[in-house]
Chain A
Amino acid sequence: MTAPKTLYDKIWDAHVADEADDGTCLLYIDRHLVHEVTSPQAFEGLRMAGRKVRAPEKTIAVPDHNVPTTLDRAGGITNEESRIQVDALDKNAKDFGIHYYPVSDVRQGIVHIVGPEQGWTLPGMTVVCGDSHTATHGAFGSLAHGIGTSEVEHVLATQTLIQKKSKNMKVEITGKLRPGVTAKDITLSVIGETGTAGGTGYVIEYCGEAIRDLSMEGRMTVCNMAIEGGARAGLIAPDEKTFEYVKGRPHAPKGAAWEAALEWWKTLYTDEGAHFDKVITIKGEDIAPVVTWGTSPEDVLPITDVVPSPDDFQGGKVEAAKRSLEYMGLTPGMKLEDIQIDTVFIGSCTNGRIEDLRAAAAILKGKKVKDGMRAMVVPGSGLVRAQAEEEGLAEIFKDAGFEWRLAGCSMCLAMNPDQLAEGERCASTSNRNFEGRQGYKGRTHLVSPAMAAAAAITGHLTDVREMM
């Protein structure tokens, strides 16, 4: 009898193409997603060495980071460097014969939203992309993680990665979530608990009733931020919800292939008694709607709390907290709910899916964005945008005073013109509150879509439960 395996063990074992005596493996990659920022040097490397893409049929490219999200973008990209980068991807996709969704395609969007939407991401796969938020795809029970540009070139040339296996970590969220608490609050709360280096060296499996209860969209939100906890990847065992989501997608298997796939996918779970090197358990009912106060995703507190003091911390975090508070312009002891907001951003690979837009629209319906505030919604893909229009969500956003944009990464990392000004304070559904992340000296508070909508109405960080 074989030893019990974790989900990660099973996927890993199914993809080892070669193993050296010291445990260094060649891991075979089933899906390689590519965007314009981290790939040009890799394609250039292939050209210089006279190499081709080994498996173009498993390689999918879409521009997302640099693309404008304004309605006039068909007119082209004004910023020359951004335009060159997107043009380079156009050319590389064509020259190397890989699947491509150009800016003009309705299916274009953030690579981590397009992959699942088009059925490229399937359970049990290995998925990589030159982007740390590749962890998103772990929601399907696939092993998915970000890689650097040298590794992008390595995967393009060999369809493998040189890897050593990570350790297994289990994050269990037991019981039910309380009303107003979402997947974003789960994933931020986990990082608040473990710290941004708590997952370093591990692959996390999220499990427990509260995770099972999440939709596929919610599960993607949870896995998306595994990287913010330092983990190589985060994953969730596939179940009926997963299969239901995948079925019928353009690149999902059909007919007999579907049946065969399903049979294997149903074996993708952690065996009873399998070993985890680290276990974190959080009660679902203990999780509150949370916000970040500082410049690290671990700076998480329930909305009902107050801004902490550097003295509340130890070691190197004392200085880091001082620096964060100064950068964020906050005083210890002030109520988080009293923090005034200039801007609200709803979107990103963390929270740019249809369910996120529904959650925000449910709060905004019949309400107005507070006078003088800037508020924007950037759907994660052209198809999310179309669906939101069909469901009447776009009208709710527009009536409330939100800008209704085209798909892209937008203000999550502000590589396109969607940026914060110096000192501008934003309630954002994105994933990183680093210094300068959303614009030079911009100030970011990470929140769920519902919490972002609540802040848009009141003009300050707000407990969404008071509006439900």
Chain B
Amino acid sequence: MDKFEKITGIAAPMPLVNIDTDMIIPKVFLKTIKRSGLGVNLFDEMRFDREGNEIPDFVLNKPQYRDAEVLVAGDNFGCGSSREHAPWAIKDFGIRCVISTSFADIFYNNCFKNGILPIVLPQEQVDVLMQDAEKGANARMTVDLESQEITTSDGQVFPFEVDAFRKHCLINGLDDIGLTMEKSASIDRFESAAQVARPWV
């Protein structure tokens, strides 16, 4: 997994609430058996018309946001299905951090498995960051995972919370499966005990 330490980049504003995984990556793109190459289809039905032409009003089609690395979004971002294609598409597009007041649980987990940092902040702070993002390409936001701070283009600093274990994995780009395999003795012990306690399972 790619490490996430600190990024400084353009933030794109998407104030719409309840942006769901069908919006992030419509199902027609779930037929792939690969993880890569989904960035061109990120937000496909909002970004392109039926003929494949860009819809100019959509934020990531505007010249100043085409290289966005941060997304500031409305409440409950990533609701809906468990499709990991959503974070795959976001990452492949080049976005490494999403900021919102809340995230859907499965999407939130999926981000950490893919080198994306989802940050939850209170509404009033998201509002400030949304305004900052609306300034366009001149507004470069810094997200520092080590110090757990976001710095806006005009120097305002917002600390954020992140689970210590997830932070450790993200900063070091650690593979979960490898870490769990180191605990295989615990799993073996559990399995043996469970076999006695609940043999029907």
A-side interface residues toward B, CB under 8 Å? 14, 17-18, 20, 22, 24, 26, 28, 30, 37-38, 40-41, 44, 49, 51, 54, 58, 65-66, 79, 81-82, 84-85, 88, 122, 124-125, 130-132, 145-151, 153-154, 157-160, 162, 164, 196-197, 200-201, 227, 230-232, 253, 257-258, 260-261, 264, 296, 298, 315-317, 319-320, 323, 413-415, 432, 434-437, 440
Contact = CB atoms under 8 A, between A and B. Distances in A.
Given A26-B183, A51-B177, A131-B82, A316 B75 contact: yes
Contacts of B190: 17-18, 28
Contacts of A130: 82, 84
B176 A253 contact: no
B23 A435 contact: yes
A85 B33 contact: yes
B113 A132 contact: no
Contacts of A230: 76, 79, 104-105
11 contacts: A24-B165, A154-B180, A162-B180, A196-B79, A230-B105, A296-B18, A319-B17, A320-B18, A320-B74, A437-B27, A440-B26
Instruction: Name the residue among B79, B114, B183 with the largest chain A CB count within 10 angstroms.
Output: B79
Contacts of A44: 33
Contacts of A41: 33-35, 84
Instruction: Name the residue among A81, A145, A197 with the largest chain B CB count within 10 angstroms.
Output: A197
A200 B179 CA distance: 27
A268 to B, nearest CB: 12
Given A37-B83, A145-B106, A200-B103, 8 more contacts: A26-B183, A37-B30, A148-B106, A151-B109, A151-B110, A159-B187, A196-B18, A440-B45
B82 A85 contact: no
A438 B113 CA distance: 29
Contacts of A260: 199-200
A317 B76 CA distance: 11
A295 B113 CA distance: 29
Instruction: Name the residue among B22, B23, B82 with the largest chain A CB count within 10 angstroms.
Output: B82
Nearest to A321: B17
Contact of B81 (A131, A298, A315): A131
A38 B83 contact: yes
B144 interface: no
B191 interface: yes
Contacts of A319: 15-17
Contacts of B184: 158
Interface in B160-201: 163-165, 176-177, 179-181, 183-184, 186-187, 189-191, 194, 197-201
Given A24-B165, A81-B32, A150 B176 contact: yes
Interface string B82-106: 1110010000000000000011111
Interface string B52-84: 000000000000000000000011100111111
B84 A158 contact: no
Contacts of A79: 31
Nearest to B199: A257
Instruction: Name the residue among A85, A159, A162, A320 with the largest chain B CB count within 10 angstroms.
Output: A162
B201 A125 contact: yes
B5 to A, nearest CB: 20
Given A85-B31, A261-B198, A435-B22, A26 B105 contact: no
Contact of A66 (B31, B105, B123): B31
A435 B20 CA distance: 9
Contacts of B87: 148
Given A17-B186, A230-B104, A158 B113 contact: no
B82 A18 contact: no
B183 to A, nearest CB: 5
Given A132-B81, A261-B198, A158 B23 contact: no
B198 A26 contact: no
Ranked 3 nearest A-B pairs via Cβ: A253-B200, A150-B113, A81-B31
A197 B102 contact: yes
